[in-house]
A = this chain, B = another copy of it.
Amino acid sequence: MSSTTPNARVLFNAIPQGVPIPGETTVYDSSPTIDLENHPLNGGFLVKTLLLSIDPGMRSRMRNPEEKSFAPAYPIGEPLAGFGIGVVLRSENPDVAVGQYLQGGGFLYQQYYVLPSLPSAMLFLDRHPDVPLTTYVGALGLPGKAAWAGWKEFSNAQKGDTVFVPSGASAVCSMVIQLAKLEGLKVIASAGSEEKVDFLRKLGVDVAFNYKTVDTRGVLEREGPIDICWDIVGGDVLNAALDNAAVGARFLKCGQMTILNKVGSHALIIENPMAIFGKSVSIHIMSSPVHIPKHLAEFNRTVPVALIDGTLVSSPEDVRHGLECVGEMIRAVQSGETKGKVIVVVGEAA
């Protein structure tokens, strides 16, 4: 007996100029179907997508494939790919069992699909019963691990340091802020809404402000100099922070949102390098996958327990439903309009 099930997906349709436009940069395609019981596996396994993350970093893959970058460009006409959680429905692969949860990168923005083997970016997920599944996309997913590994590897945090975290309410940055506060450091952090600024205060941020209504440079001149800056923003914010750096400051960069949404050059521009030469500033342009493995065991020992006992808290989540909202949420993430980590529920575990 055979029956077909809808198998919707989100396709990459055109390289955006500036901020991605729903329906133009990406299109929602509800036409495909799949026979879940009989679709051939050819030795592979069938994944059901449960959750998908709408990450800032997806923007970097929406480019001309001839431009070099760390993650491959999305092919036009193919489904988007990124971070998520799924469950195995059927398997002919001896390493992958039915019912196993999968976590990580390499998920397609599609309800169901067959993989020949586990992609290197995907891990089996041992779910803790007291932790919501969405947490494995945020604090226990790539954002949390990226924050942990980057901080351990490069912050060189010293007693008395002042830390600046622009765009601090994101999943990555809120973890960084909490690690800094656990070490007793002074934290300055900004966010784009009063609601997010309140969240920053709950995390213990010493100087929390709304960057849409308060001048970042002025705050840093009053509250700096800055010993550690975790910057995912770039542009004027990065330059204001560099101009207010302390001698020996460490800048940890794991993204560059303002650059990618700018039409034209994507160069990283340091406006006043001569002022920095006097301070001996180190800028670490981090690739999380390079550093996570070294720090993963400590992360796994520490963070899940800390989230359950409340020592650490997850960043706000903005949970949506259905692949049809992906295009709009990509736009909203790139525009800084979201209320927290955007997670799209694509399917429910049986």
Interface of A toward B, CB cutoff 8 Å: 60, 67-71, 154, 243, 247-248, 253-256, 259-260, 265-287, 290-291
Whether the pair A285, B281 counts as a contact (CB closer than 8 A) is yes
Whether the pair B277, A267 counts as a contact (CB closer than 8 A) is no
Q: What is the count of identical protomers in the complex?
A: 2
With a cutoff of 8 Å between Cβ atoms, the chain B residues found around residue A287 in the complex are 247, 277-280
Whether the pair A282, B285 counts as a contact (CB closer than 8 A) is yes
- A278 partner, pick from B71, B256, B275, B281, beta carbons under 8 A: B71
Whether the pair B267, A269 counts as a contact (CB closer than 8 A) is yes
Query: Of all chain B residues, which has the CB nearest A286?
Result: B280
Q: How far is it, in angstroms, between the C-alpha of A265 and the C-alpha of B154 when the chains are bound?
A: 30
In the assembled complex, how far is the CB of residue A270 from the closest CB belonging to chain B, in whole angstroms?
4
A–B complex contacts, Cβ < 8 Å, 21 sampled? A67-B274, A69-B274, A70-B275, A70-B277, A71-B278, A255-B277, A266-B272, A267-B270, A267-B273, A268-B270, A268-B273, A269-B270, A270-B270, A277-B287, A280-B287, A280-B290, A280-B291, A282-B282, A282-B285, A283-B284, A283-B285
Q: How far is it, in angstroms, between the C-alpha of A69 and the C-alpha of B279 when the chains are bound?
A: 10
With a cutoff of 8 Å between Cβ atoms, the chain B residues found around residue A256 in the complex are 273-274, 277
Query: Of all chain B residues, which has the CB nearest A255?
Result: B277
In the assembled complex, how far is the CB of residue A284 from the closest CB belonging to chain B, in whole angstroms?
5
Most buried by B among A248, A276, A285: A285
In the assembled complex, how far is the CB of residue A192 from the closest CB belonging to chain B, in whole angstroms?
23
Query: Of all chain B residues, which has the CB nearest A275?
Result: B68
Query: Of all chain B residues, which has the CB nearest A68?
Result: B275
Q: How far is it, in angstroms, between the C-alpha of A68 and the C-alpha of B276 when the chains are bound?
A: 9
Contacts A68-B243, A247-B287; A271 near B267 (Cβ below 8 A): yes
In the assembled complex, how far is the CB of residue A55 from the closest CB belonging to chain B, in whole angstroms?
13
In the assembled complex, how far is the CB of residue A150 from the closest CB belonging to chain B, in whole angstroms?
9
Query: Of all chain B residues, which has the CB nearest A242?
Result: B285
Q: How far is it, in angstroms, between the C-alpha of A268 and the C-alpha of B283 when the chains are bound?
A: 13
Q: How far is it, in angstroms, between the C-alpha of A81 and the C-alpha of B261 when the chains are bound?
A: 45
In the assembled complex, how far is the CB of residue A105 from the closest CB belonging to chain B, in whole angstroms?
13
In the assembled complex, how far is the CB of residue A64 from the closest CB belonging to chain B, in whole angstroms?
12
With a cutoff of 8 Å between Cβ atoms, the chain B residues found around residue A276 in the complex are 285
- A266 partner, pick from B243, B274, B291, beta carbons under 8 A: B274
Contacts A247-B287, A287-B247; A70 near B278 (Cβ below 8 A): yes
Query: Of all chain B residues, which has the CB nearest A274?
Result: B69
Q: How far is it, in angstroms, between the C-alpha of A279 and the C-alpha of B248 when the chains are bound?
A: 23
Contacts A259-B273, A268-B269; A290 near B69 (Cβ below 8 A): no
With a cutoff of 8 Å between Cβ atoms, the chain B residues found around residue A71 in the complex are 278
4 cross-chain pairs, A with B, having the tightest CB-CB distances, nearest first: A70-B278, A268-B273, A69-B274, A268-B270
With a cutoff of 8 Å between Cβ atoms, the chain B residues found around residue A275 in the complex are 68-70
Query: Of all chain B residues, which has the CB nearest A59?
Result: B274
Q: How far is it, in angstroms, between the C-alpha of A268 and the C-alpha of B248 when the chains are bound?
A: 19
With a cutoff of 8 Å between Cβ atoms, the chain B residues found around residue A70 in the complex are 274-275, 277-279
Whether the pair A274, B243 counts as a contact (CB closer than 8 A) is no
Most buried by B among A272, A275, A278: A278
In the assembled complex, how far is the CB of residue A207 from the closest CB belonging to chain B, in whole angstroms?
23
With a cutoff of 8 Å between Cβ atoms, the chain B residues found around residue A282 in the complex are 154, 282-285
